[in-house]
Structure 1
């Protein structure tokens, strides 16, 4: 099994979403599931903000060498998505949204003509659907409330490229005191354990 794992927290070893991602990896190993990992720490190795020059390189009919090099960045990210059997995202919530580092990844993977196309009936996804697991860590309590703009945003971004089989595991309230944090992490870990056991 080949899994694309994306993390995006700026907190490194202190990150709760990174902790959940590491717990997921450990549980797969404990269950004896053989995995070929494609890993990207989008905070430690961040992508630059998308520019008009880079976007233009995707559409150039006779690209220059410089445009080909710019285009390669997007090509490589898309190839990783195509190669994976599953996709896992470790996602913290920053100001009700996703980290800019993760948005920069989506900006290159959601590419008209490559991963989706526009039709008279609206956008049409071009990628094969595969299971997506989102490990979401939040300081407060947002899931299922109007304040959770992150969940529908991620569903929309992923759905644009055909990824509609999306499961969320939340660790919420991690900034609401030690007891709340420990309970949130324990509940999320238990949900991850159940998810992994269902894969066996």
Structure 2
């Protein structure tokens, strides 16, 4: 895909959604960190439902630490892998209290050293909480980048590198938000909805999906 076509894709997505953001609900960097940690292999909807119950009770590292694993697990038991996630959340809170003054660090290495925090989670927090132009590649973005030809790659790190290389600087902060939403609602895994895709004329996916028969 050439540079002009890539720019046109981002300009089109920007025109429809000038200020995209995560669908996770949060009010502080800490709330975002916990929500993103819990969202692995779970939907944002399920995480939001659980956090609407937990955050009014515990939304700081100290309060979540005081809840303990059993307390956190009780709030998040509707979320997949909740026991492991509860353990990681509480351990992360202890590290934040002991090593970072109870604050979420705006540093990749420090974030990735937290239990249950990988590169994707760190990228989301750095981008959404701290305004850094990182690109977090999940399954939706991996699919859209490869299917459209925007930034092909064999694995998530390759796609992330390609997106960082080929995304014009002015779009880099918002790129992963546009792409994840596009993958979630239009360029779906089983059946991409090409018939109402705004970037369909620019997309290099050849077997365009026809609309379903009425």
TM-score by length of 2: 0.28
Which of the pair has more CA radius of gyration?
2
Between Structure 1 and Structure 2, which shows a larger proportion of strand residues?
1
Give the number of the structure with larger relative contact order, counting CA–CA contacts within 8 Å between residues 6 or more apart.
1
TM-score by length of 1: 0.29
Between Structure 1 and Structure 2, which shows a larger proportion of helix residues?
2
